[in-house]
Structure 1
């Protein structure tokens, strides 16, 4: 039974959803049959395939994707994904089967996503940072029966059974004998639309895997709330130009790409990230929106005003940042360098978009993740599962929104309280209702009887002029049970000492939050989305 409060929330959400979609030109109230047709396509094809078909009808001659091979139109995108879908079915891959793709950001990845939906195949997006063992384990767990891959990942593809069908999505050299390439299929394949499946086969987006083997999160039919969660607080361009350097296989890159395609924008993609090359491309392509992860923006800001000043970035109106924690110091540095255009997105593969901070909120409270968009609701719970309502009290963060999580592919699920799903993070709300992430709930350590969250120490050290990157973890200690160890990447032309680092923390935080160990390293282990892989940091004796 639905409670009166829940019914009121649902009605409010639907009204808000229609308003946001109407304001962005995605729904015409005078043509309800168009909206019904799009919804039906989404249910049968899944999000990317439905966007390819819709784009081929609405924006056929408009530029769709620009990568190192040039630009294809929305019509090209629709036809080439038809050709790939027909080629996959012609290889004898039955509808409902699972295929995988491991590719960098380029047209081929999006064409593969659309083709899988049109062919009625479930697609697993593999992480480009996988080693052979992880790659094979995930492929086996997800029952993958065909592989699409960039040529650079041939060694990974070769670790799968030799008789598994395979297609190369990006060719860098000579095509291997006997293996079909996407370029060949796009040039000479059957571009007619294959028969629509009865229902979307779905897709699997992998979690970050910072604590072990990445879990598979299933996504099925397209929910209109998925777009609204982004559009409600972020001013996407319409029929403009957006550049995504965040990996498309990750939830943020995937979600923002989908919204951009729905709005008829041109997507600028590059297979590898380089800070100055990205800035130069933004200027040359007159990019209005940039989607990136914090480590990428850190490197762009580090170019300095002399380098940044060489490029005309006057078209830039929005920077969306997500994927890992945004420190207050980096938040300020980005807006000082690029203007007040920063939007800090917080969410996860499981809960979708939980909250978004807008530029004025980040100026007021650097590092905040802002407020929830329409249909997203946030709650904090204490260790006894009692709701926390007071300001500035840390608790476990739970989220409920209009994009339901369908569970992991191994059958597990997240903790749920009162219909709200755990994010695994600790958070607090300030007096103005702005939310701050305080770290993972399993990152908390107890040192000498005191609770310590490493993220607080990391954010403080990130402000130090001699610190380029930092990670803080707990390690075993005979006296205190656990002690803090800080790993520091020195800023260029600096040579801080461990005592200077400790003194900086002692000046601003309680004594028990001062790292006992300070280790200087050349770089920190981060995955392709910029998240710190703490389990790869040494915890043994130094």
Structure 2
């Protein structure tokens, strides 16, 4: 009898593997009947990691196909492959190898892509720095992670002042003339050597992603290697297809942008990117390149939708089949507005730096239940647990979210880990399933506000506030209260020219929610403090000045 769970588990694993292969084949990732190409792709990924391996495989299939279009123009897959060979050779000559940690502090452009490819060819570990870092954060992370070389855009030069002097520095993007600069540029290194293929490294160094750092110094979450089958976790519920075009609005240093960049390269898609996000330029780029997928964080989607029908109507975005949103919560109001603009194409992914993919809401899921984050794709498991670590089976009951996925990390670089139950990893969030099995995130486990003995999760109040036609965005915190322990304080950003006052904000909440969910305090701000991926920096809200 003890063998039954083992047999059942093996059967489930075999079924998931078969389903994953089928999904990959439908997307064009498994080039049936040319299975030899597929096997070569698998070998490339194993040797150099998913990012470098994907570009090498695409260059072998059709080197003339355009891989990226950035602010400087297009580059083919062969050009990326050749130029990253040259960069890897130049770095190798300077002593960088598979024991090195190479960090990048770059916006989205070819220099970032080439640095990531070259690091993969050396077998070096690639550390993706957040472009929104302050100088102390950058220095702390560089020291903790043992960074040997740092690749950066010239605009971030002043942030490097506290980074240890022994860390080598390379410029990925320069402004104006390059003469007289202290540090060599990647383009100079590429021009200084040949572009022959480099020797295969002993092992793949992989990536280190960083947590948001909204509550302190960001933690490092390593991704040493992944299985090719793990790509099915995205493709199962997000219909990317081979040979199409992706507009990358989200930053590549974040898991959202990185994952979709890797997947697009693996499918031989063109990736369009700009160094700085501009909402109208993004819509224009989608129209000009006939992009079929648009990758964004919610604040970017908000700025696009806020352009209004007059501006949006100038551009033909009918090529879009996918608006992929992840990185922070997508409110029901914003998701509905985006659906009105682009049609049934919004795909809302829920996950984290640590757990990777947890669930995806398809456009059909969203239509049925606005605000949902959907269902787990193939290869993923999501279970809710109560405060006594017991699984919650009933719909509508809030519990702590735990996730199982082949893409989940194995622990932070400092040796710590997230809580685990039954082999599943905590996401740090709480949520509930509805009667149809769709997941809803109710908030962060550590953001629950207890006011007068009642539990309040800020996201419910925030979502209601942004539904008001005069509110652009809102955040809700718990602040100390002598009588109730905590009381709710709302930080609200209004549309230009609005006359909405605090009493009207409270009345709006009182009309729709329970009395204990009404904010006692209301502060009006010009904007909410956010990091580069759109997450609200709640620790800074108390320091923000009201209008």
Same fold at TM > 0.5: yes
| Candidates 491, 495, 517, aligned match of 1:491 | 495
Give the aligned partner of residue 65 of structure 2: 62
Describe how 1:334-345 pairs up with structure 2 within 5 A: 334-345=338-349
| Candidates 85, 89, 111, aligned match of 2:88 | 85
CA 1:465/1:540 → structure 2, altered by over 3 Å: closer, same or farther?
Answer: closer
Give 1:308 shift.
0.6
Give the aligned partner of residue 139 of structure 1: 142
Is the Cα–Cα contact under 8 Å of residues 45 and 221 in structure 1 kept in the other structure? no
Q: SS of the residue aligned with 2:348?
A: strand
Give 1:540 shift.
11
State how far apart, in whole Å, the 1-side matches of 2:284 and 2:448 are: 41
Alignment partner of 1:13 is 2:29? no
Alignment partner of 1:216 is 2:223? no
Describe how 1:44-55 pairs up with structure 2 within 5 A: 44-55=47-58
Alignment partner of 1:436 is 2:440? yes
Give 1:153 shift.
1.2
State how far apart, in whole Å, the 2-side matches of 1:308 and 1:353 are: 31
Give the aligned partner of residue 407 of structure 1: 411
Alignment partner of 1:166 is 2:160? no
State how far apart, in whole Å, the 2-side matches of 1:541 and 1:528 are: 21
State how far apart, in whole Å, the 1-side matches of 2:496 and 2:235 are: 39
Describe how 1:105-116 pairs up with structure 2 within 5 A: 105-116=108-119
Is the Cα–Cα contact under 8 Å of residues 225 and 403 in structure 1 kept in the other structure? no
State how far apart, in whole Å, the 2-side matches of 1:352 and 1:263 are: 20
| Candidates 19, 27, 48, aligned match of 1:24 | 27
Alignment partner of 1:40 is 2:43? yes
Q: SS of the residue aligned with 1:5?
A: helix
CA 1:184/1:483 → structure 2, altered by over 3 Å: closer, same or farther?
Answer: same
Give 1:12 shift.
1.5
| Candidates 100, 104, 111, aligned match of 1:101 | 104
State how far apart, in whole Å, the 1-side matches of 2:214 and 2:323 are: 25
Q: SS of the residue aligned with 2:489?
A: strand
Q: SS of the residue aligned with 2:148?
A: strand
Alignment partner of 1:300 is 2:285? no
For structure 1, list consecutive stretches of 5 or more residues without a partner in the other structure: none
Describe how 1:371-382 pairs up with structure 2 within 5 A: 371-382=375-386
State how far apart, in whole Å, the 2-side matches of 1:82 and 1:104 are: 22
Is the Cα–Cα contact under 8 Å of residues 125 and 208 in structure 2 kept in the other structure? yes
| Candidates 459, 476, 479, aligned match of 2:483 | 479
Alignment partner of 1:72 is 2:75? yes
Which stretch of structure 1 is more off in the superposition, 126-135 or 232-241? 232-241
Is the Cα–Cα contact under 8 Å of residues 102 and 127 in structure 2 kept in the other structure? yes
Describe how 1:310-329 pairs up with structure 2 within 5 A: 310-329=314-333
Alignment partner of 1:464 is 2:460? no
Give 1:29 shift.
5.4
CA 1:337/1:141 → structure 2, altered by over 3 Å: closer, same or farther?
Answer: same
Which stretch of structure 1 is more off in the superposition, 165-174 or 428-437? 165-174
For these two proteins, the number of residue pairs brought into alignment is: 542
State how far apart, in whole Å, the 2-side matches of 1:294 and 1:506 are: 27
Structure 1 residues 443-462: Cα deviation after superposition (integer angstroms, max 9, x where no partner):
10110011110111001111
Structure 1 residues 206-226: Cα deviation after superposition (integer angstroms, max 9, x where no partner):
111112111100011232233
Give TM-score scaled by structure 2 length. 0.96
| Candidates 236, 247, 251, aligned match of 1:247 | 251
Alignment partner of 1:366 is 2:344? no
Is the Cα–Cα contact under 8 Å of residues 151 and 169 in structure 1 kept in the other structure? yes
Structure 1 residues 282-335: Cα deviation after superposition (integer angstroms, max 9, x where no partner):
212222110001111111111111111111112122100011101111110000
For structure 2, list consecutive stretches of 5 or more residues without a partner in the other structure: none
State how far apart, in whole Å, the 2-side matches of 1:145 and 1:393 are: 48
Structure 1 residues 147-187: Cα deviation after superposition (integer angstroms, max 9, x where no partner):
11111111223432334322111111232435221222334
Give 1:510 shift.
0.6
Give the aligned partner of residue 447 of structure 1: 451
Which stretch of structure 1 is more off in the superposition, 184-193 or 365-374? 184-193
Q: SS of the residue aligned with 1:10?
A: helix
State how far apart, in whole Å, the 1-side matches of 2:100 and 2:190 are: 22
Give 1:68 shift.
0.6
CA 1:163/1:378 → structure 2, altered by over 3 Å: closer, same or farther?
Answer: closer
Q: SS of the residue aligned with 1:343?
A: strand
Structure 1 residues 17-45: Cα deviation after superposition (integer angstroms, max 9, x where no partner):
11111222222455544434333322221
Is the Cα–Cα contact under 8 Å of residues 90 and 192 in structure 2 kept in the other structure? no
Which stretch of structure 1 is more off in the superposition, 82-91 or 467-476? 82-91
State how far apart, in whole Å, the 2-side matches of 1:24 and 1:280 are: 26
Give the aligned partner of residue 234 of structure 1: 238
Is the Cα–Cα contact under 8 Å of residues 48 and 110 in structure 1 kept in the other structure? no
State how far apart, in whole Å, the 2-side matches of 1:425 and 1:161 are: 36
Q: SS of the residue aligned with 2:251?
A: coil
Give the aligned partner of residue 264 of structure 1: 268
Structure 1 residues 64-111: Cα deviation after superposition (integer angstroms, max 9, x where no partner):
100010000000010111111111111112321111011001111111
State how far apart, in whole Å, the 2-side matches of 1:264 and 1:539 are: 46
